Structure 1
Amino acid sequence: MGTAAGSVFDTETLRRGVEGHTSATLLSLYADDAQLRIVDHNTQPSHPKVLHGRDEIAEMLDDVYSRDMTHRLEDCVVQGDRAAFCESCEYPDGVRVLAESMVSLRDGKIVDQTMIQAWDE
């Protein structure tokens, strides 16, 4: 993975952030005014969980990265001011999580993200 021509969004930083052990690198990719919508079994499309700004996003990411689990960036595509990526995660007991995200970019930072996630139950 590399950086798309004309874009400063760095997919290698995304990989290091997703696969890292803390949220700091991943959080660095978000604009201060970013918005994150999460759709899953608990927060369905008509009422998604919406996080506003880096502080709220940081709180969620800190919680995720405090858990004993592995994260892997499966794929990422960047085209202009849009990107899409797939992340897979696994807990030590074998429970898996899959998340697909579509993001809008401004100056190489994520300003809007919609994430759809599912996990083993």
Structure 2
Amino acid sequence: MGTSAGPAFDVEALRQGIEGRRADALLSLYADDAEIRVVDRNTQPSHPKVMHGRGEIGEMLTDVYGREMTHKLENCVIQGDRVAFTESCEYPDGVKVLAESMMSLKDGKIVQQTMLQAWDE
């Protein structure tokens, strides 16, 4: 019989935050000292955009989820202290964005996230 190593990650809160465009709800899932690395066309693997702490992460979440677009959590897999998910987005003009994230957890909170994203051009 297994035992839980710590608090569980709240996938439903992740879904509601993403699909409800609620930056505040998403920010509550991050540890105070969390880090996000973003890799895309503009911030390539050798020079990713890196945000440290809830302040910088909150600014990014407020920007992204404040935009007029839809967001959908398509897949989410949890394995121990790791979470991976796919998020699809669409702007009103039909431009689509796809993001894949891999996260590390500590005490049920996100401490590290790497996001790869691509969009229509």
Per the TM alignment, residue 21 of structure 1 is displaced from its structure 2 partner at its CA by 2.6
Secondary structure in structure 2 of the residue aligned to 1:16: helix
Alignment: residue pair count? 117
Q: What is the CA deviation profile of residues 7-66 of structure 1, one whole-angstrom value per residue up to 9, with x for unaligned ones? A: 510111110111113201111100000000000000000000000001000000101111
Instruction: Give identity over the alignment, percent.
Output: 72
1:36 maps to: 36
2:82 maps to: 82
1:3-82 alignment runs, 5 A limit? 6=4, 7-82=7-82
* AA matched with 1:82: R
1:91 maps to: 91
**What TM-score do you get using the length of structure 2 for normalisation?**
0.94
Secondary structure in structure 2 of the residue aligned to 1:14: helix
2-side partners of 1:65 and 1:9: how far apart?
21
2-side partners of 1:54 and 1:21: how far apart?
17
2:118 maps to: 118
Secondary structure in structure 2 of the residue aligned to 1:84: strand
Structure whose CA Rg is larger: 2
Runs of 4+ that moved beyond 3 A: none
2-side partners of 1:44 and 1:35: how far apart?
17
* AA matched with 1:39: V
Q: Which structure 1 residue ranges, 5 or more long, are not aligned?
A: none
2-side partners of 1:55 and 1:48: how far apart?
18
For the aligned residue pairs, the C-alpha RMSD in angstroms reads 1.1
**What TM-score do you get using the length of structure 1 for normalisation?**
0.94
2-side partners of 1:22 and 1:81: how far apart?
24
1-side partners of 2:65 and 2:40: how far apart?
19
Q: Which structure 2 residue ranges, 5 or more long, are not aligned?
A: none
